[in-house]
Structure 1
Amino acid sequence: MFTIDDLADRLGGYLPPGEIQQVKRAFYYAEQAHDGQRRRSGEPYVTHPLAVANILANMHMDHQSLMAAMLHDVIEDTGVSKQALGAQFGEPVAELVDGVSKLTQITFEDKAVAQAENFQKMVLAMSRDIRVIIVKLADRLHNMRTLGALRPDKKRRIARETLEIYARIAGRLGINTIRVELEDLSFQAIHPMRSERIKRAVSNARGHRRSAMREVQATLQKSVDDEGLSGTVVGRQKHLLSIYRKMRDQRKPFVEIMDVFGFRIITDDVASCYRILGVVHNLYKPVPGRFKDYIAIPKANGYQSLHTTLFGARGMPIEVQIRTREMEAMANNGIAAHWLYKAGQTSHPIAEGSHARARAWVKGLLEMQRHAGDSLEFIEHVKNDLFPDDIYVFTPKGDIMELPQGATVIDFAYTVHTDIGNHCIACRIDRHLAPLSTRLESGQTLEIITAPGARPNLAWLNFVTTAKARSAIRHALKHQQHTEAVMLGRRLLNKALAPFNTSLEELEPTVISRAFEQLDVSSEEALLESLGLGNRVAHVVARRLVDVADGHPSEQINEGTHHKPVVISGSEGMVINFARCCHPLPGDSIIGHLSMGKGLVVHRSECKNLMDRDDPDKVFALEWSENIDEDFPVVLRIEIESRRGIVAQLAGLVTDADANIERIGIEERDARLATVNLTLAVKGRVHLARIMKRIRNLPNVSKITRMAN
């Protein structure tokens, strides 16, 4: 059995004696705290924290991480407090242990709120110290290795949870040794028979093709050596879940997947990587379009390597990865390589860069958490963020930005900065103007054009793909709706207070605060938002305010101001909506209907769809502002003689009259007559009349009608 002395011997390779002694002291403390506790397998419980520490030792993690691994279950499973651990081992270790302790029972399948909030705790713990998640990943890896003692249903639940989130976090942080093992162990637990069959098939296939593998490996090694380059060629094995996914997703038979030979060439420096690439391309013909340079443009998790696919002897495909020793360490240990190099008292730019990228990712998660409406929305964003199939684009200054496959211009804008995303109005891709919904491709150069008054559009949510963009757009729209609802609520309340010869601004603060208590609202802003969204009635609130105010009895109503209409301009935003049933235009007689949660809906006075017409608390008079510079939709129904070119003629007339066609539909009535439904954007009633007059003068038009309902 593996003992603390065995671990101490291993740690002697990279930690000083004083730090090893602290790790041993943490072990003896955990052994005493867990005394009498046993695992499901019957082993003493302390074997688990010792095994977790051993996994971290493989990655050369620092002594504080190893101490936290020894103590990670002490707070949760024994009577020891965080304060007691801090006094014994120092505050950093106590914080690590506390962070890991909070990351238990995170289940993602049923998306329960409590479990989602648990994941938020993990993000907060990671933001304070990224080592928390590394210790947790090692803990989860040992638990997966020892699943055997559990019931099958519990095995499957833990395995799905591991596959859903922990394996993906390991991948996002570049810790591929842990990611691969977590994926294969999860696959074995979820699909034991499939896993066993693939494992046997792999074993047989390797036996059959061992001589061919050795031949190709020897040929590659000889070519590298003949050029005087330092490089070691090793065979690369596919793991079980990777094989299974390719068989399932690409619908390929096992034989076809295993026909590909994989090799890795490890060398000393970056220049040698590119020289070796030239050697292998000279030896075997490369497959067009299958070369990827992750050295010049690293993946988001810091992974660097050259990838190429070659046509080998007899057309056999050969996949080759070429990287330096430091890149190999990064590919296996990811962010943990930061501590691997620190342990040797040296720093390395690749490891430092990986650590910086990981911290930037966690910082992005925290920003999403602040913007998310609730924990479930946050989980949705994070899950999207953990599946990056990356493309790489450039800023005008030449900086490389990494985005997921399918990302659009809006995603790019928000990746650069939230403010740029919120205010973007247009984009140039490779110096040509392009729509904001354009899907990006690797190698493009993007320039975002912004305007100070621009705001996010609700339609953007239909095509953005990154979690950051989706979260920021929703946050901005909520803020926008809140601001506009407060402004509308103030106008509605002041209108309701006008009959009592007062306004919100004239009331004493003490009167307002007493009325708020009776109305059960926390602040003036919350009350005004509720009024603007139609969740409260302005007249009821106004009467309560007047009743509370001294010397303003609610009976003293000035009838002259009671029916004074609310003035609207059409630019109020999200809380004033124009009814699609009657399409009101400036110049029309209009009334407003307060709709629960939507705000004010504007109808034409004669609209037949208007509900609660006689309820003065929900329906009231509106009038148009004198200064309106907006376009409004309107639908025209035109009965016309069908002939070639008539649609183009109509479009020309509308354009000449300074209007836009938003939609056009044609219904054939018979061989001679047709009905054209035309949706236009116009300035108002006068503008519409001018357009209708031009259309009516066409010789083929028999009737033109503005649609009311």
Structure 2
Amino acid sequence: MAEDAGNIDLEKERKDILNAFRGLLRTFKQGTKEENKMIRKAFDVAVEAHKDMRRKSGEPYIFHPIAVARICSEEMGLGATAIACALLHDTVEDTHITLEDIEELFGPTARKIIDGLTKIPEVFDENVSIQAENFRKMVLTISDDLRVLLIKLADRLHNMRTLESMRPDKQLKIASETNFLYSPLAHRLGLYSIKSELEDLGLKYMNPPIYNEIQSKLKSSKEARNRFIRRFMQPIKDSLTKEGYDFEIKARTKSISSIWRKMQKKGIPFEEVYDLFAVRIILNTPEELEKPDAWRVYSIVTDYYQPNPDRLRDWISTPRANGYESLHTTVMSPQGRWIEVQIRSKRMDEIAEKGLAAHYNYKESKNGDTKFDRWIAEIRDLIENPSTDAMDFINDFKLNLFSEEIYVFTPKGELRVLPNGATILDFAFDIHTQVGLTCIGAKVNNKLVPLSHQLKSGNQVEIITSSKQKPNDEWLKYVITARAKQKIKNALNEERKEIAADGREILERKLKNYNIKFTSENVTTLERFFKVPGATELYIKIAKGKIDLPRVKEIPQEGGHFKSDKKRPKKGVQTDAPEPKTVLNPKDTIIIGNNNVELDYKYAKCCNPLPGDSIFAFNSISEGLKIHRTNCPNAENMMSKMAYRCIPATWELDDVKEHIGKLRLIGIDDLGLVNKITDIISHQHSVNMKSISFSSHDGVFEGWVEVYVHDLQHLESLIHKFEIVEGVKRVERWDEAEIEKISD
């Protein structure tokens, strides 16, 4: 987007651009003369191509590709080709530069990478499939060159870092997509620091009050935390120095998003999250001594502090599927707090920080890069069938981004890594497609188990097969891996095609007997007559004998053609799915309240929005507009998958109505406590109560209250009154557990 240069100091901008580029070059210290020359050439091409473009913030556009290239170099440790491609990543999409130009100037590898990075138009398009196809296209390039994915992650990270200049509705949608797809992807590639930052930035825009509250509390407790860490580490430091180790000790504070996850999972406030940080001991030791040295350091740590035997994790003997290696233990400090200690070598630390990129630097090491090769092979399996629906593809791909793993063994002792929750069928397909398709059961530790049996780490599994076995629809409920799901779907589709071909043949013969022509118009009439959604379904039902074909004679016909008073739908128009009730432009903002009779909307039960909450509208197919809070449990799912149906909304607060507010109270059980709470609701606060329920267990009570309030401020003042009641420890809003069902 060009901008009037009248009030802009172009000379200063030119200097700033050059300084940013020099900063990038300083991060790429290992480059040869030829590599630096290629990066400079890419910079010159990008500066010229983007010279008239500016970002939403008003700064020259070229700052964005320079920043993305710097992330690739400094935070991922990628090489010259990736850095050059990062500088050029938007040129083909946004400027006159073509892929042919890229190939001529930088070679075929650069062309392939830039092609993978060139998006199908606008991420948040009016059509849901564009959003899904865009991500799918990027994933399809994985098997060609993983640098596409790494540059795309760097691009997304910089966009998230500079998201404040976007409209609030765009911020929400981009943050949702990031949380849904890009953060798990960074985790799967071993880019833990980037994954944490993406999650934190996602939380910053999805739930600003929570983000700001945790950030503020971390800041205020920083001094006390640092003093505690210094005291904790001192005896370990002294012993390691005495033993002659070359080492470094770091303390890493948990990310804001992981603290929030723990608070939600355990239902506790910030003050009760004790493992706010981890201590990391990094050894500078030869590769052959890494394992024995790590265990010797573990021995030193546990000489001083009592370990929790349930929290020992040995990812050195058995690295994670993304190459992560480290020895983790949790020990009790003298102050009665649990502290996680991570022990690893310098090589392991670089892999943990830079993930896949660093892993390739060590591919000649003892572990090789077989785990990544295997993951890429799984992705290839997933993208074998190009006809797969893009939305199904995203859901299946997300399944592959598992974080927790189990380790199981074949009868010959070969180790297989599977996601937590994997079943016999998942294991069978992991061995070989044919083994999966013919699996009838298995022996786990010599005990016979069914296909749906969930495996645990350490299980030894022997698959039992039969040539007569065939997959069925139930199998899709038994598997969680993307590979197994895809193979079962492919097999079922093949079987459906064969059955449909038989059904078509039967129909052709029957119509010939009745002197009716086999035409697409006649088949469409039969679909309507027998009430089936399509021709394939019609043929399958015919083959299975579920359709009474003699009834065809009931349909009026003339000259071999059925007579039908219904017009055939136009090509490409889907008639079996209703359109959303209200058609609106996602760029509009809906005003909620003030007796807006033009719009038919409901408040979502999953989050019960109140005036004052940050909200958006979701244009659902069956129920019209539903108003959700932006921090609703369903918001991320809707905005990442169905951005084109999410419409910005705001409150018109002149209209005073009563809304339902839901609160959860936790505290110490005390005689008369319920009376105090109901007294506050009914008398002190003049609030009407919809429902109240309490349960008590071992002296701790939990209460659920539903009240009618005017707005968020009204509810918050009620929360404050509850909090000062003696015995009440915590009061919070609660949402329904149900997940909104959305369909495209």
TM-score by length of 1: 0.69
2:382 matched to 1:365?
A: yes
2:295 matched to 1:274?
A: yes
Structure 1 330/520 Cα, relative in aligned 2: closer, same or farther at 3 Å?
Answer: same
Partner of 1:386: 401
| Residues in 1 aligned to 2:67 and 2:405: alpha-carbon distance in whole angstroms | 35
Partner of 2:77: 60
AA partner of residue 304 (structure 1): E
Structure 1 469/357 Cα, relative in aligned 2: closer, same or farther at 3 Å?
Answer: closer
Following TM superposition, by how much is the alpha carbon of 1:210 offset from its aligned partner in structure 2, in angstroms?
2.1
Following TM superposition, by how much is the alpha carbon of 1:260 offset from its aligned partner in structure 2, in angstroms?
5.2
Asked if structure 2 preserves the Cα contact closer than 8 Å seen for 1:302 and 1:357, the reply is no
Asked if structure 2 preserves the Cα contact closer than 8 Å seen for 1:229 and 1:272, the reply is no
- Name the stretch that deviates more: 56-65 or 352-361: 352-361
Partner of 2:478: 463
AA partner of residue 84 (structure 1): D
Where does structure 1 lack aligned partners over 5 or more consecutive residues? 501-514, 522-526, 538-574, 576-593, 604-609, 619-709
Following TM superposition, by how much is the alpha carbon of 1:602 offset from its aligned partner in structure 2, in angstroms?
5.3
2:341 matched to 1:320?
A: yes
1:413 corresponds, among 407, 428, 436, to 428
Partner of 1:100: 117
Partner of 1:45: 61
| Residues in 2 aligned to 1:126 and 1:159: alpha-carbon distance in whole angstroms | 23
Partner of 2:353: 332
Partner of 2:169: 153
Partner of 1:225: 241
Asked if structure 2 preserves the Cα contact closer than 8 Å seen for 1:393 and 1:441, the reply is yes
AA partner of residue 182 (structure 1): L
Asked if structure 1 preserves the Cα contact closer than 8 Å seen for 2:36 and 2:80, the reply is yes
Structure 1 414/617 Cα, relative in aligned 2: closer, same or farther at 3 Å?
Answer: farther
| Residues in 2 aligned to 1:84 and 1:40: alpha-carbon distance in whole angstroms | 28
AA partner of residue 378 (structure 1): F
Structure 1 103/254 Cα, relative in aligned 2: closer, same or farther at 3 Å?
Answer: farther
Partner of 2:439: 424
2:88 matched to 1:71?
A: yes
Partner of 2:708: none
Asked if structure 2 preserves the Cα contact closer than 8 Å seen for 1:395 and 1:446, the reply is yes
| Residues in 1 aligned to 2:468 and 2:549: alpha-carbon distance in whole angstroms | 37
Partner of 1:599: 542
* 1:380-417 CA-partner distances (Å, limit 9, x unpaired): 21122224422221111222222222221111111222
| Residues in 1 aligned to 2:432 and 2:368: alpha-carbon distance in whole angstroms | 25
Asked if structure 1 preserves the Cα contact closer than 8 Å seen for 2:503 and 2:539, the reply is no
Following TM superposition, by how much is the alpha carbon of 1:138 offset from its aligned partner in structure 2, in angstroms?
0.9
Partner of 1:438: 453
Asked if structure 2 preserves the Cα contact closer than 8 Å seen for 1:106 and 1:161, the reply is no
| Residues in 2 aligned to 1:433 and 1:617: alpha-carbon distance in whole angstroms | 54
| Residues in 2 aligned to 1:76 and 1:154: alpha-carbon distance in whole angstroms | 20
1:183 corresponds, among 194, 199, 203, to 199
Secondary structure in structure 2 of the residue aligned to 1:241 = helix
Partner of 2:147: 131
AA partner of residue 328 (structure 2): H
Q: How does 1:304-315 map to 2 (within 5 A)?
A: 304-315=325-336
Q: How does 1:193-342 map to 2 (within 5 A)?
A: 193-258=209-274, 261-267=277-283, 268=285, 269-338=290-359, 340=361
Secondary structure in structure 2 of the residue aligned to 1:69 = helix
Secondary structure in structure 1 of the residue aligned to 2:230 = helix
1:144 corresponds, among 148, 154, 160, to 160
1:3 corresponds, among 10, 13, 20, to 20
Structure 1 167/274 Cα, relative in aligned 2: closer, same or farther at 3 Å?
Answer: same
Following TM superposition, by how much is the alpha carbon of 1:457 offset from its aligned partner in structure 2, in angstroms?
2.4
Secondary structure in structure 1 of the residue aligned to 2:321 = coil
Partner of 2:606: none
Partner of 2:419: 404
Structure 1 225/131 Cα, relative in aligned 2: closer, same or farther at 3 Å?
Answer: same
Structure 1 311/347 Cα, relative in aligned 2: closer, same or farther at 3 Å?
Answer: same
Following TM superposition, by how much is the alpha carbon of 1:616 offset from its aligned partner in structure 2, in angstroms?
5.9
Structure 1 15/614 Cα, relative in aligned 2: closer, same or farther at 3 Å?
Answer: closer
- Name the stretch that deviates more: 354-363 or 280-289: 354-363
Following TM superposition, by how much is the alpha carbon of 1:211 offset from its aligned partner in structure 2, in angstroms?
1.7
| Residues in 1 aligned to 2:321 and 2:56: alpha-carbon distance in whole angstroms | 39
Following TM superposition, by how much is the alpha carbon of 1:135 offset from its aligned partner in structure 2, in angstroms?
0.9
Q: How does 1:639-678 map to 2 (within 5 A)?
A: none
Partner of 1:86: 103
Partner of 1:566: none
- Name the stretch that deviates more: 465-474 or 427-436: 465-474
1:31 corresponds, among 30, 33, 47, to 47
Structure 1 280/598 Cα, relative in aligned 2: closer, same or farther at 3 Å?
Answer: farther
Bigger relative contact order (CA 8 A; separation at least 6): 2
Asked if structure 2 preserves the Cα contact closer than 8 Å seen for 1:426 and 1:436, the reply is yes
Following TM superposition, by how much is the alpha carbon of 1:476 offset from its aligned partner in structure 2, in angstroms?
1.0
Partner of 2:688: none
Q: How does 1:601-640 map to 2 (within 5 A)?
A: none
Structure 1 277/226 Cα, relative in aligned 2: closer, same or farther at 3 Å?
Answer: same
Structure number with bigger Rg: 1
Following TM superposition, by how much is the alpha carbon of 1:351 offset from its aligned partner in structure 2, in angstroms?
6.7
AA partner of residue 265 (structure 1): I
Structure 1 103/350 Cα, relative in aligned 2: closer, same or farther at 3 Å?
Answer: farther
AA partner of residue 398 (structure 1): G
